Amino acid sequence: MTDYRLVERLPTVAEYRDLRRLSGLSEKSPEAAERGLPATLFAVVIEADGGPVGMGRVIGDGGTAYQVVDIAVLPPHQGQGLGKRIVAALVDWLHATAPKSAYVSLIADGPAKDLYAQYGFEPTAPASIGMAFKIK
């Protein structure tokens, strides 16, 4: 049985890029990761076997708006409850830190919506919909 440790820390740029790519999330350039990671409000990394196998971050303005991003677990470690541990740590931090009336959002890909619903996230449609564009 693998010994998993949840650590409150940022992933390095290399860890971040590898975890995103290997878990099936979109790739981010080194420049994007180098700029974005230091602006993180809170992050956790799941470590096992001497390296990171999962991560999650909270970004935002620290007062009115927060977004849960980069929930990633490497495929060989999925199904072990690691995504739940990551989201629980982020949500616990938000409840302890964010002021009343703060808005917390995320984009749920596919069946991940069921995981997030366990922590109080609800669909915003039809009142609002998520919209985005990607810099190419």
Domain with 38, as residue range(s), is: 5-117
How confident is the model at residue 135, as a pLDDT? Answer: 87
pTM of the model: 0.95
How confident is the model at residue 136, as a pLDDT? Answer: 84
Half-sphere exposure of 109 (CA within 13 A, CB side): 9
Q: For residue 132, tell me if it sits in a domain.
A: no
Q: For residue 134, tell me if it sits in a domain.
A: no
Instruction: State how many domains the chain has.
Output: 1
Q: Say yes or no to pLDDT of 2 above 80.
A: yes
The CATH number assigned to the domain holding 85 equals 3.40.630.30
Q: For residue 47, tell me if it sits in a domain.
A: yes
Average pLDDT over residues 122-129: 92
Q: For residue 125, tell me if it sits in a domain.
A: no
Sign of CA dihedral 127, 39, 30, 91: negative
Per residue in 4-48, pLDDT (tens digit) is 999 999 999 999 999 999 999 999 999 999 999 999 999 999 999
pLDDT category at 111 given cuts 50, 70, 90 is: confident
Q: For residue 72, tell me if it sits in a domain.
A: yes
Q: For residue 78, tell me if it sits in a domain.
A: yes
Q: For residue 103, tell me if it sits in a domain.
A: yes
Beta carbons of 87 and 72 less than 8 angstroms apart: no
Distance CA(122)–CA(51), nearest Å, equals 33
Q: How does strand 51-60 pair with strand 65-73?
A: antiparallel
Q: For residue 131, tell me if it sits in a domain.
A: no
Average pLDDT over residues 104-113: 91
Q: Pick 110 or 81 by higher pLDDT.
A: 81
Per residue in 52-91, pLDDT (tens digit) is 999 999 999 999 999 999 999 999 999 999 999 999 999 9
Q: Using alpha carbons, list the distances in angstroms from residue 26 to 19, 45, 77.
A: 10, 18, 19
